[in-house]
Structure 1
Amino acid sequence: MSALLDTTAAAALRQVATAQAEGRLPSVAAGVVRDGELAWSAGRGRHVRRDSDARPDSDTQYKIGSVTKTMTAALILLARQRGQLALDDRVGRFWPEGPFGEATLRSLLTHSSGITAEPHGSWWERSDGGDLVALAAAHQGAGTTLEPGAQMHYSNLGYGLLGAVVDRVWGVSWWEALQAEILGPLAMSRTTYQWVEPAAEGFAVDALTGEAIPDRLPDTGAMAPAGQLWSTVGDLATWLTALVDPDRSVLDAATLRAMATPQHGDPDDRSGQSWGLGIEIARSRGRKLVGHAGSMPGFCCGAMIDSASGVGAIVLTNGAYGLGAATSELVHLVLDQEPPLPEEWTPTTAPVPTAVRELLGTWHWGHAPTVLRWDGTELTAGPPQGPGREMAFAPVGDGTFRGTSGYLAGELLRPHRRADGAIGHIECATFIWTRTPYDPQAPIPGGTAPQS
């Protein structure tokens, strides 16, 4: 186990204890994941259940609410990874008798479909849910609330629809698919549909008296893919790692990158938050945190991980509100006090392809220099030193290179040779790079500035 230093662990405990006390939370279970393992955990508060004064720990179950959505999204993306669907497919392809058949899977994953935030009927979080037939019947003829694609508009109902798609694609229920394809392979045995001891009881805390009032724990039925699951600090440490490390995930690197790519945001948001494919993305203090918050009657929680370092935090509570930003603050605390070491540099050992070697060095776009380097697998393009635009290009195999990151991602970089066979310039999406600024032998769009 990659345990925290004593000083960091003490600071983490103080932060969690403060969140529990100031948020008036009956109990809190928290943990830090690093290097794919639970590096630290703690419990605060003794009101886990009415009939017990035991403290919670990393194996105590709490209802995780919308963290469930990240697993529903993973099932959709796993099906995409296997070629069973495309993100631009419409719901009607899989559930023709269901509502909102024109909504794309991508729009539902990113909360940009424009459909209503909550399903029609009584408050789904506090009501026993019906089946897919009932969900469809409740929304027949319903229209969108906002123009599809106009902006992010959080929709729990959208994840009920995604659960129906899972049901049709996998040929089994959403819960059966989740067990077989994600929870089983990742050995997340303490993530369950209903609570299994040891588990916390959900409470609403009276704002004036401080009384902890037991809350309802319904089976949400067809809406379960939006927020039904129970889990633990230990299991969610495994899950957070699976969201950023393809070697410890059922999803491949390309899928995880797509999942964490910002798609939509709220135009009125000032926090820097955006939404990827089923996950929240928060940019704070120069870091990119991914994961999700969750709340259901009697519970609130957070699970976030820094995508660069793999350091994450889980905070689970059995109070209906009051957690605030404790989860992301715990991640920042650990990274501030124990910044990760950079990866060890090792020399390139594989032969550098000839098509690569002759491109290396300084090129100019206009007068601006860019240096092409080889990292063993890709060409990287960046300024000679200091800040500036950085990009990467992977060999295609025919002497050209496809952009993999940065401004020219997806674009094709082509070397152009002169009559003597030497590369005279390189071109990508009409941008021309030359060995000397404004090389007169290269086709500079618009020509060069006249000399005075």
Structure 2
Amino acid sequence: MMTSSDRLLPGTERALSHRVAVAQAEGRAPSVVGAVVRDGALVWSGSRSCVDGHAPDADTQFRIGSLTKVFTAVLVMRLRDEGLLGLDDPLERHLKGTGVGEVTIAQLLGHSGGLAAETPGAWWERSSAALRPELSDVLGDQPFLRTPGRRHHYSNPGYTLLGSLVEAVRGVPWAETLRSEILEPLGMGRTTPEPVAPHAGGWAVHPWADVMLPEPSEDLGLMAPAGQLWSTAADLARFAAFLAAGDERVLAAASVEEMRAPGAPDAEGEWELSYGLGLQLAHRDGRTYIGHTGSLPGFLAALWVCVEEGLAGVMLANATSGPQPGVVAADLIRIVAEAEPRFPEPWRPLPEGGADEELLSLTGPWYWGTYAYGLRVGPERSVVFEPLRGAGRGASFRALPDGGWVGLNGYYEGETLRVVRRADGGVSHLDLGSFVFTREPYAPADAVPGGVDEAGWRGL
């Protein structure tokens, strides 16, 4: 899968191998596999094992736990893109009789539906699915812990509902839809609901002694969409490339980007975690990561993608606890980003006709009151409006077919920027969501709401 032109520098590869070795030793895991993706291609993989000469490789399966949720979320987004459901639809519209039907699909995707984190009864990850044959067994008599939509609260039963939703709309089992709509198009032939050799065995390591015991591997039944899958570092590298750029065979880039938009915050701390639509988001070391972590008895997993760096990191281990998969996967990205920083795209002028004289005349400084802003032109008549000094809110804007621009990010996302002209056709000011931006700060002749003091600027 790797060619000589893809390879990292020897010093970088050694640093990556060292990080995996430290994770295995300090985390006291039977084995750890790591992998790095750069610009959509697997450029490094390595492993460390407690058995000399018997380390797993990038084609060895591990159970990935809650990383499965990202796959389920992609299936739901596909249904949305096909017009078969809306994210703001109540669940009841498409999946009848759950008893929690007022929860919206978006709330389930982002874990803000108010549902409990786990199922009632026996520990579902370590007990037979026969104990939970119906959705009522997964949800229990009191499925809600709080009012839907108020805050983020991680819910495994919520993803059971999403898997059942996919089955209800498609009319075929979740696993079959997953295989035909995601795994086969992306070439992920080693990602399966049940283990297929070669695969790692799951182990529990005693917290106070260097001894182990095997963990059971249960079929999760209805809970499968929340954590069933087995995968490999190589297959997850393919999935990372998809999460970075989208794939028209599976989900368009715009829809994948929508999944990455943060919702309610998850936790405070160094990671600054939040959650999108089926994707965890983390901010660490000045970088933004998207992906997911996962665990089931005997296994730990993490996949992070740093879109800005064009890098992704994968970490898999066959231990119930010990290594920190999210930290290790992020460290693999950091090591490559710092040792082999990405070359920026070369600056190039706009193509012929890319910016007309009228648009160019709008560039330069504008003033909202006494706040100074600058407007510059981007490709396809887009513009960037940003503060030039001091505090202020900046944003990028996409050109609208009928004139003006719509905000793409930050405070002004979805807001309209338009040019307001005088009776003679000249530009009076810019209007951004009712905020007036003029060429001079508080010029008497400008259309400033509330008017301008006729005496003008003065000293004390």
Normalised by the length of structure 2, the TM-score is 0.92
Alpha-carbon offset, residue 260 of structure 1: 0.9
Letter in 2 for 1:374: V
CA–CA distance in structure 2, aligned partners of residues 335 and 6 of structure 1: 15
State the AA in 2 paired with 1:426: L
User: Cα distance 1:326–1:353, how it changes in 2: closer, same or farther (>3 A)?
Assistant: same
> Residue 44 of structure 1: SS of its match in structure 2?
strand
CA deviation after TM superposition for structure 1 residue 216, in Å: 0.6
Residues 45-82 of structure 1 show CA distances to partners (whole Å, capped at 9, x for unaligned) of: 045xxxx9621010000000000011111111121122
Secondary structure, aligned partner of 1:314: strand
Residue 361 (1) aligns with residue 356 (2)? no
In the alignment, is residue 34 of structure 1 matched against residue 38 of structure 2?
yes
**What do residues 270-302 of structure 1 show as CA deviations (whole Å, max 9, x unaligned)?**
631111111110111221001111100100111
**Change over 3 Å in CA distance of 1:203–1:140 after alignment to 2:** closer
How far off is 1:116 after superposition?
Answer: 0.7
Report if the CA contact (8 A) 2:202-2:215 is conserved: yes
Aligned counterpart, 1:335: 337
Change (3 A) 1:354 1:384: same
Q: Structure 1 398/346 Cα, relative in aligned 2: closer, same or farther at 3 Å?
A: same
Q: Deviations over 1:308-363 (max 9, x none)?
A: 12201101000111112211122112111111111122211141246533422322
Q: How far did residue 303 of structure 1 move? A: 0.8
Deviation per residue, 1:22-41 (Å, 9 max, x gap): 00000111100101011111
**1:428 aligns to what?**
432
Q: Structure 2 matches for 1:83-162, cutoff 5 A?
A: 83-130=83-130, 134-137=134-137, 139=139, 141-162=141-162
Greater Cα offset, 178-187 or 204-213? 204-213
Deviating more after overlay: 423-432 vs 141-150: 141-150
Change (3 A) 1:243 1:226: same
The aligned counterpart of 1:54 is: 54
Letter in 1 for 2:401: G
Alignment of 1:373 onto 2:376: yes
Paired with 1:257 and 1:115, the residues of 2 have a C-alpha distance of: 26
Q: Measured at CA, do residues 432 and 357 of structure 1 come closer, stay the same or move farther in structure 2, by a change above 3 Å?
A: same
Distance (Å, rounded) in 2 between the aligned partners of 1:31 and 1:434: 52
Q: What is the number of residues matched between the two proteins? A: 448
1:6 aligns with 2:28: no
Q: How far has the Cα of 1:86 moved from its partner?
A: 1.1
TM-superposition CA deviations, 1:151-182 (whole Å, max 9, x none):
21111111101101111122211111111111
User: What is the CA–CA distance in structure 2 between the aligned matches of 1:141 and 1:353, rounded to whole Å?
Assistant: 64
What letter is aligned with 1:375?
Answer: G
SS of corresponding position for 2:160 = helix
Aligned counterpart, 2:214:
214
Distance (whole Å) between structure 2 residues aligned to residue 387 and residue 241 of structure 1? 36
Q: Distance in 1 between matches of 2:145 and 2:428?
A: 55
State how far apart, in whole Å, the 2-side matches of 1:238 and 1:350 are.
37
State the Cα RMSD in Å.
Answer: 2.1
Match of 1:407 among 388, 406, 411: 411
Residue of structure 1 in register with 2:443 after alignment: 439
Q: CA separation in 1, counterparts of 2:151 and 2:346?
A: 42
User: Cα gap change, 1:138/1:327 in structure 2, threshold over 3 Å: closer, same or farther?
Assistant: closer
Which amino acid in structure 2 is aligned with residue 195 of structure 1? P
Cα gap change, 1:285/1:34 in structure 2, threshold over 3 Å: closer, same or farther?
same
Distance 1:128 1:303, change over 3 A: same
Deviations 1:237-277 (A, max 9, x none): 11112112125872222212211111012365563111111
Query: Structure 1 pair 99/129, CA: closer, same or farther in 2 (3 Å)?
Result: farther
Q: Deviations over 1:416-439 (max 9, x none)?
A: 111221111110111111111123
- Most deviating of 205-214 and 135-144: 135-144
1:74 aligns with 2:87: no
Distance across 1 between alignment mates of 2:138 and 2:40: 43
Asked whether the 8 Å contact 1:46–1:53 carries over to 2, the reply is no
The question of whether the paired residues in 2 share the 8 Å contact of 1:299 and 1:319 is answered with yes
* 1:344 corresponds to: 346
The AA in structure 1 aligned to 2:34 is A
Aligned-partner SS, 1:244:
helix
Letter aligned with residue 34 of structure 1: R
**Counterpart of 2:309?**
309
Contact 1:299-1:317 at 8 Å conserved across structures: yes
Shift in alpha-carbon separation, 1:249–1:433, aligned structure 2, 3 A: farther
Does the C-alpha gap of structure 1 residues 131 and 92 become closer, same or farther in structure 2, counting only changes over 3 Å? farther
CA distance in 1, matches of 2:390, 2:249: 35
User: In structure 2, what is the Cα distance between the partners aligned to 1:418 and 1:16?
Assistant: 65
Residues 99 and 142 of structure 1 are in contact (CA less than 8 Å); yes or no, is this contact kept in structure 2? no
> Secondary structure at the residue paired with 2:99?
coil
- The runs of 5 or more residues in structure 2 that have no matched partner are none
**Conserved in 2, the CA contact under 8 Å of 1:116 and 1:144?**
yes
- What secondary structure sits across from 2:172 in the alignment? coil
CA distance in 2, matches of 1:138, 1:349: 57
Q: Does 1:175 align with 2:175?
A: yes
**Cα separation, partners in 2 of 1:249 and 1:354, compared to 1, 3 Å:** farther
Distance 1:244 1:348 in 2: 26
Q: Secondary structure at the match of 2:112?
A: coil
Deviations for 1:99-129, whole angstroms, at most 9, x for unmatched residues? 3111111111111111111112321111222
CA distance 1:338–1:268, shift in 2 (3 Å): closer
Aligned partners of 1:323, 1:41: CA distance in 2, in Å? 17
Once the two structures are superposed, residues 363-417 of structure 1 have per-residue CA deviations (whole angstroms, 9 ceiling, x without a partner) of 2212322222221121111245899643111111222211122321101112111
